[in-house]
């Protein structure tokens, strides 16, 4: 849900224009590749989960609803007041059970004015670790566990951690180019980056998987459903799209595998040496790294020059929210 954006963080417009997010959780559907591989121990994904929980606890400690955010009713207005300093903002202000939008903004939420004109570029990274509340955090954690554990077991912590962080930043950059009001927090851009990497990994390592058509169809369906959810109010679809594109390009670069049988042939005597990667894999690698670098450079230059993407692309706003008779779309 986004209105702060969880991915935007979402406590709703009452909380200062926060954006939030929801994500349909997939089961990991990859077939086991025809080549046997050593399964790595996943630790970076659990570490990210723990870090997100700790950060939310720190945010709630700083928020201190009984002192700073109880409204006219003081501590009695805070939700779950028995938690004292860690109690939540009133439900009418933040239905996701979390802090105030003021606290989130102070601690690093993505905010266009501060990021662009006050040159607080660090918000592009810091906002990935902030969440609008317990509900938002649980949604992101479940998504990360379902997607990230198996990817890390297969490809290792360095590559998956890199994809997660760069995709999160990519989602925030695109979001900042098109959403200039309100604040945004959450890791949906990073999570969509893992989706994108899964898709490009399937494409670049096409020959080593069985049931390829079923796998890619299922993945595309999952992505499509989540993007459709993104056109609802309070959901920051630009973070989803930006993260997905960054992860998709990174998958071609970081998740490439040797062609089938290459490892075994290397250990056989009198075996004719063959190329480690197929030609199409190398072509996709070059395309991926080129578009990734050019895309980031152009987007960052536009962002820090204060370009508002919505002014040059009037219809782009419909990628983030489609107004209907049931709801309206505020920026």
How far apart are alpha carbons 122 and 76 in whole angstroms?
36
pLDDT of residue 26: 44
Phi-psi region of 148 (alpha: psi -120 to 50; beta: other; left: phi over 0): alpha
pLDDT value of position 218: 79
pLDDT band at 27 (very low <50, low <70, confident <90, very high): very low
pLDDT at 17: 47
**pLDDT-derived band of residue 265, with 50, 70 and 90 as boundaries?**
low
Paired tokens of 21: 């997010």
Separation between Cα atoms, residue 203 and residue 198, nearest integer Å: 9
Three-state secondary-structure class, residue 19? strand
Q: Which of 47-51, 182-186, 288-292, 307-311 has the lowest mean pLDDT?
A: 307-311
Region 197-220: what's the mean pLDDT?
A: 81
Tell me what the mean pLDDT of segment 208-226 comes to: 77
How is residue 65 annotated by DSSP? H
pLDDT at position 170: 96
Least confident stretch, 16-30, 43-57, 80-94, 221-235: 16-30
Rounded Cα distance, 123 and 108, in Å: 5
DSSP 108-148: T-B-HHHHHTS--TTHHHHGGG--SSHHHHHHHHHHHHHHH
Q: What is the pTM of this model?
A: 0.81
- Looking at residues 241-268, what average pLDDT do you find? 81
pLDDT band at 93 (very low <50, low <70, confident <90, very high): confident
- Write the CB contacts of 330 (distance below 8 Å, at least 6 apart in sequence): 13, 17, 181, 233
Query: CB under 8 Å to 270, separation ≥6 — which residues?
Result: none
- The residues annotated with a catalytic role in the active site are 188, 240
Distance CA 51, CA 69 (A): 25
Q: What is the pLDDT of residues 146-163, one digit of tens each?
A: 889 989 998 999 999 999
CB count within 10 Å of CB 149 equals: 17
**Among positive and negative, which fits the CA dihedral 112, 117, 118, 120?**
positive
Tallying the residues shown for the chain, one arrives at 331
The mean pLDDT value for 260-280 works out to 65
Percentage of the chain surpassing pLDDT 70?
77
Distance set, CA 263 to CA 205, 221, 276 (Å): 15, 34, 8
Residues 121-129, mean pLDDT to the nearest whole number: 93
According to DSSP, the residues that pair with 88 across neighbouring strands are 79
Torsion-angle region of 95 (φ positive above 0: left; ψ -120 to 50: alpha; else: beta): alpha
* Mean pLDDT estimate for the chain: 81
Q: Which residue segments constitute the domains of the chain, with CATH numbers given?
A: 13-27+39-264+274-319 (1.20.1540.10)
């Amino acid at each position: 849900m986004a209105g702060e954006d969880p991915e935007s963080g979402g406590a709703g417009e009452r909380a200062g224009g926060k954006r939030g997010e929801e994500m349909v959780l997939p089961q990991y559907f990859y077939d086991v590749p025809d080549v046997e591989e050593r399964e790595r121990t996943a630790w970076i994904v659990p570490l990210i989960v723990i870090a997100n929980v700790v950060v939310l606890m720190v945010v709630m400690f700083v928020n201190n609803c009984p002192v700073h955010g109880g409204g006219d009713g003081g501590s009695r207005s805070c939700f779950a007041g028995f938690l004292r300093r860690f109690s939540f903002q009133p439900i009418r202000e933040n239905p996701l059970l979390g802090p105030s939008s003021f606290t989130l903004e102070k601690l690093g939420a993505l905010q266009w004015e501060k990021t662009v004109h006050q040159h607080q570029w660090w918000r592009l990274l810091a906002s990935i670790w902030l969440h609008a509340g317990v509900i938002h955090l649980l949604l992101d954690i479940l998504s990360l566990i379902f997607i990230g554990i198996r990817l890390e077991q297969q490809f290792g912590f360095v590559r998956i951690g890199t994809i997660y962080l760069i995709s999160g930043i990519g989602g925030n950059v695109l979001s900042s180019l098109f959403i200039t009001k309100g604040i945004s927090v959450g890791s949906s851009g990073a999570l969509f980056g893992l989706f994108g990497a899964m898709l490009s990994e399937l494409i670049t390592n096409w020959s080593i998987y069985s049931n390829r058509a079923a796998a890619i169809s299922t993945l595309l369906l999952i992505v499509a459903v989540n993007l459709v959810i993104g056109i609802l109010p309070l959901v920051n679809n630009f973070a989803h799209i930006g993260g997905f594109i960054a992860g998709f390009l990174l998958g071609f670069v970081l998740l490439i595998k040797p062609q089938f049988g290459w490892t075994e042939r290397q250990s056989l005597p009198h075996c004719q040496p063959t190329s480690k990667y197929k030609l199409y894999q190398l072509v996709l690698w070059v395309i991926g790294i080129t578009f990734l670098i050019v895309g980031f450079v152009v987007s960052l230059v536009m962002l820090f020059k204060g370009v508002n993407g919505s002014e040059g692309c009037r219809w782009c706003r419909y990628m983030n929210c489609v107004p209907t008779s049931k709801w309206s779309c505020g920026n």
